[in-house]
Structure 1
Amino acid sequence: MDDLKTLDKRYEALTWGVGFLWIGILGLIPGDQNGLGLLGVGLILLGLNLGRSLSKIPINGYSTALGGLVLILGLVVLLRSALRLPQFELDLFPIVLVAIGLYFLFPGQKWTDNR
């Protein structure tokens, strides 16, 4: 059991590291990179839960749903002109804060301590 918890903590640390690296790299590239940023964050979150699943660690439903939603939003932003969608402005930072707040408000498996 402790091995799985340790592995899960490693996966989480790796995910945070890759996430910050991804955001930093996109910040260095000139131009609007919102679509690529969202797409990458969605893939990172889904990759975390794929790694958990393959290692027989319970996945986090919230981060899976958030990863899927962010992935879809990133695809919509990238394919906006091909899909002929109207231009829309959405402040990402307040939405991220709301998502983080909801994560902490709704207890789930992250709060249980199985010994």
Structure 2
Amino acid sequence: MDSIRGAIVALTSSILVALLFAYTFRIPIPMGGMLGPLGGLNPYSMGFSGVLTSVAVAWLFYGLFGGFVILPVFGAIAGHLASQKFSAAGNKRQMVVLWAVLAGMIPVFGLSILDLIIGPW
């Protein structure tokens, strides 16, 4: 059950993580460029609704190209590991959620630095 919870949390929290990355680091927007303070598009010059729309489009685009498979797998692994590690703890559910959110950050971070690894796309 904790694996399923981890998979769902990682998938649903990834859009919030992508929004956080858009304001603090950078996130690639399909056919738009890099959105973020370290990217080409500045999110602070756009309105919040513009940033939210861009991030939602990117989340859907990259999700359809494999992200909706990778994120639940990472979340399920994190949920299972957290469930085993904190099996006797009173805050086991909170730790499963925390680990799943952190596991959901890994693919988002990988996507945001992918051009530094493989070159510009």
Please say whether Structure 1 and Structure 2 have the same fold, judged by a TM-score greater than 0.5: no
Q: Which protein is richer in strand relative to its size?
A: 2
Q: Which has the higher contact order (CA 8 A, sep 6+)?
A: 2
TM-score normalised to the size of structure 2? 0.29
